[in-house]
Amino acid sequence: MKKTKILYWVFTGLFAFVMLGSSIPDILVIPQAVEGFKQIHLPAYLLPFLGWAKLLGVLAILIPGFPRIKEWAYAGLIFDLLGATYCVFSAGKAPMDWAPMLVFVALGAASYVFYHKKQVSATFPESGNQNSLRAVLG
């Protein structure tokens, strides 16, 4: 249980840091973000919307409780990253411009996996794994 919680918070903290860091320039509509959107052929008016959505998603994954909102937040943040990766790739950018974003997708996936492991171990603290869930269910 302790190892699962530690890994959850490490992955979640890193993922939240990355997503928060990418939301602030979007919310503020800084020139560098506008230029980046122009390079991948997206309109600048999407920046504040995506920035606020990312900020709310980060808050949702960090605030305890609200499991359904957390699920939607994880989905939205991963869709944002995959969409951005696809747009940069489709704009003809070099792999060194879009491939590192897959690391952030992996951070989000790890956070999500350990979120669910933490939930299962909190429900069945005696063993902390899904085998106890299988034993209870059948």
- pLDDT value at residue 16: 98
Range of the domain at 25: 1-122
131 within domain boundaries? no
Q: pTM of the full predicted structure?
A: 0.85
pLDDT for 136 = 46
Work out how many domains the chain is built from and give that number.
1
The predicted pLDDT at position 131 comes to 57
pLDDT at 50 over 70: yes
**Is 108 within the bounds of a domain?**
yes
Give the whole-angstrom CA distance, residue 83 versus residue 115: 23
Residue 112, domain member (yes or no): yes
Average pLDDT value for the chain: 90
Q: Is 79 a domain residue?
A: yes
Share of the chain above pLDDT 70, in %: 90
Token pair of 76 as six digits: 């939205």
Distance CA 19, CA 57 (A): 9
Q: Kindly state the average pLDDT of the residues 87-107.
A: 94
Write out pLDDT tens, residues 19-48.
999 999 999 999 999 999 999 999 999 999
Question: What span, in angstroms and rounded, lies between the C-alpha atoms of 83 and 1?
Answer: 34
Give residue 127's pLDDT.
53
Alpha helices in the chain (DSSP H): 2-28, 31-39, 46-62, 67-90, 95-98, 101-123, 130-137
Tens-place pLDDT, residues 60-74: 999 999 999 999 999
Within a domain: residue 138? no
